[in-house]
Structure formats: C-alpha cells, structure tokens
Amino acid sequence: MRGVPRSLFARIAAILALGLLLAYALALWSVLRERGELSRSMMLGYLGRDVAASVAMLDRLPRDERAAWLPRLARANYRYALTPAPAGPAADSALVKEIADALGAELGPGRLLRVAQADGQLAFDLRLADGSPLALTLQPPRLMVSATTAGLLLLQLALLGACIAWAVRQTTQPLAQLAHAADALGRNPEAPPLAEHGPTEARRAAAAFNTMQRRIASHLAERLQILAAVSHDLQTPITRLRMRTETMADTALRGKLQADLAEMQALVEEGLAYARSAHAAAEPAQPVDLHALLDSLVCDYTDAGREVLLSGAHPRPLTTRPQALRRVVGNLVDNALKFAGAAELIVRSDARSVHISVCDRGPGIAPDQLAAVLQPFYRIEASRNRDTGGAGLGLAIASQLTQALGGRLHLLARAGGGLEARLSLPAQ
C-alpha cells in the first residue's frame, strides 16, 4: 500500500505519534471548549452590569461631556459611540441572543433596539434616557491559544516524540540485529555470534539464533570435511590405477580406462575446490583495483590463446576479497569458454552495486533450470554433461564464493542465445 511505512520502526512510531497527536488534539479541544464556556458565562455576567453602569453614567452627564468619557468607558473587546449602530444584517445566533438578553435585563425595556453584524463584529443599537443614540460595538470572544501555551505543547510533543523514537528503537533494534545476523549467516556460517543483551525476549531470541548458527556451522563443517576427506583419499587409488594402466598391453582398453580415471580425478579436484570455497569468508577484505584485477585475469586467458574480452570499468577501488573474487570470475569464464569457446566480461556500476557480467554465445540454459544449476553436482545432460568435462560443481563453487563476498549471482538467458552470469557486489 502506498503511503504506508515499510520498516517496522517507522510503522510503530507513526502509529504512536498519530495516537499522541489525536489525544493532544482532543485534550486541547476539550480545554478550549471548557475555557470558552467559562469565558462566555463570565462575559455575560460582567458585560450586562458594565454596560448598564456605563449607560447610567452617560445618562447623568451633560450632552457636551459624554464624548470625553467614551474612551474611559471602552474595554478591550467593546467600545461606545454616540451614533446609531452601523447598518448591517441582523445577527441571529445563540451567543447573540444570550448577550442581548443579558443587556436587556440590565438596561431595562426600550433601551436595546436591534443587533446587527458588521465587519465580523456585533453592533448593538442602544438609546440613552433622553433618547440620544448610543452604539455598542462588540468583538465576540474567540478561542485562542497563547504563544506560551503553544510553545509548551510543542515542547511536550517533542519530548514525547523523542521518547517514542527511543522506545521503538529499543524494541525494533534486536529484530534488525537478528535480520543482519541471519543475512551474515547465509554468507558465512562462521560469522560472529549475535550479542545476547537487552530485554529478556531479545536475549532469548539471540541465544536461540546463536544455538542454531552453531548447529548449522557444525553440520556444514562436518559435511565439507567428509567431502574433502573422501576427495583427498580417492586421489591415492586413482593414482595407483593410472600407474597400473600404463602396463596394460591393450592400447584401446588402456585409453578408455585412463579417460575414466582422468574424469574421476577432475571430479575429485572439483570436490576439493568446493570444500575450500566454504572458507573463503576467512580471507580479509581489502581495497582492490577492480579493473586491474580483471585485466590481469583476461591477459592470462589471452596469453593461453583463449578469446576473452573486457569492457567497462569501475572508477573507484572496491573493498572485497580479491582471491575469492578472482576464483569466482575465473570459474564463470571457464564455464563460458567450455561451452561457447569465447567469453566477454562487462563491468557496470551504480551508487549501490558493482555488476560483473560474464557473457557467452553458447547453447545457454533453459529458464526453468537457471536456479538448479547453482546447486552442487547438478548437470544439464542435454548439453553440459560429463562428456564435456563438467562435474556439476563449477557454478556451485562460484555461488558459494559469491555468498562469501556478500554478493549475488544471477544466471540470465541472453537475447539471441547464450548465457549471462551476472555477479553483483556491494559498492561499499
């Protein structure tokens, strides 16, 4: 939904802030309403007596002295004039009726002739005892908040807002740390454990996560140790079998057996490489000139007579694990050369990521198998099978190393045929 905050911190803070604002608005409205009613009752009682006293004083003053007393009789929100009230539409409201009733009760009958409204004010047409006109112009009371009160309300809102932000941050920070630790666990099972501090619930969640992390790390270490041990131990019998095939008289049979042994040897070596890739996160990260690293890799392939091109560049140093990055790109280039005979490296970057694409024009991969080929020992029998020398670990090793680099590996079908292996790394 548009307009809805995406983070839990923003949502909880927005809900609490909205509730706080509504509560303050309701409280302020209630206070102003009560103050208005009190002011109205006090005004009605005071206004009638004060106007009656002023009119009685003017009744007893000579005509030529009345004008001099008008400024003394004026108040903050009403004043007098020795003229008829200005013409205007008749004012008809509950407040006007209450004021008129209060004036009529204090002045007596025949003194209040009419009530008009002019320029947002109420004009009362009065008559003195000798019949002279007297206009009373009254500014109706308005419900207003003083600058001091407004400042105190804003200060209270600011303090409560800060307390809300602090409380919500204390609540959501363990979740953010848990999410960060889970993301780091996907890249490196040996990542540092999550700190077990904060409220009881946060400590229990952190302890459960750390227990899960230790179990996963132990399971992966055991699996990789078994794979490495089996791959390493297989090298000895393979070597003995290769030596024994050298003494065979049947040339054709010897060639077939040696080809099978070479395939087994390649599978063992890739198994060892896959086991070693799990420890890539232990390599320290350092600033690297990405163009120089990729250019040296391309030059190695070019010197070996392979067709590999490099285009694009990243202008700034990239903080990464250079040996792991070189192995990832090397595996992807080897994969492209194996099935297409040529490869092209394209480097693009933006504010957040650096993208290294290894493109080829080989047979490609079906869209429904793009994710599966990243799994260990998965082979596409239609084109990329053991006859081409693959053991199903090249892309799996690249995917494992990419996780250690904190990046993502995507396989995309190219328009016109071929495959694009896009390695996306964080720019910072």
Please give the residue that has the higher pLDDT: either 95 or 205. 205
pLDDT (0 to 100) of residue 386 = 45
The pLDDT mean for the chain works out to: 81
Angle in degrees, 0-180, between the axes of helices 251-277 and 200-245, rounded to the nearest 10: 160
pLDDT confidence tier of residue 145, bands split at 50, 70 and 90: low
pLDDT confidence tier of residue 120, bands split at 50, 70 and 90: confident
Q: Give percent of the chain above pLDDT 70.
A: 86
pLDDT (0 to 100) of residue 168 = 82
Q: What is the pTM of this model?
A: 0.48
pLDDT (0 to 100) of residue 392 = 62
Q: Is the pLDDT of residue 32 over 50?
A: yes
Q: Is the pLDDT of residue 294 over 90?
A: yes
| Mean pLDDT of all residues in 161-187 | 79
Q: Is the pLDDT of residue 222 over 80?
A: no
Residue 364: left if φ>0, alpha if ψ -120 to 50, beta else—which one? left
CA nearest 373: which of 392, 401, 389, 357?
392
Please give the residue that has the higher pLDDT: either 346 or 245. 346
CA angle 337, 402, 324 (to 5 degrees): 75
pLDDT confidence tier of residue 19, bands split at 50, 70 and 90: confident
Q: Which residues contact 146 (CB under 8 A, 6 or more apart)?
A: none
pLDDT confidence tier of residue 273, bands split at 50, 70 and 90: low
- The span from the CA of 46 to the CA of 339, in Å, is 101
pLDDT (0 to 100) of residue 278 = 59
Please give the residue that has the higher pLDDT: either 332 or 90. 332
pLDDT (0 to 100) of residue 383 = 45
Least confident of 32-41, 294-303, 307-316, 416-425: 32-41
Q: Half-sphere exposure (CA, 13 Å, Cβ side) for 216?
A: 17
| Mean pLDDT of all residues in 273-285 | 66
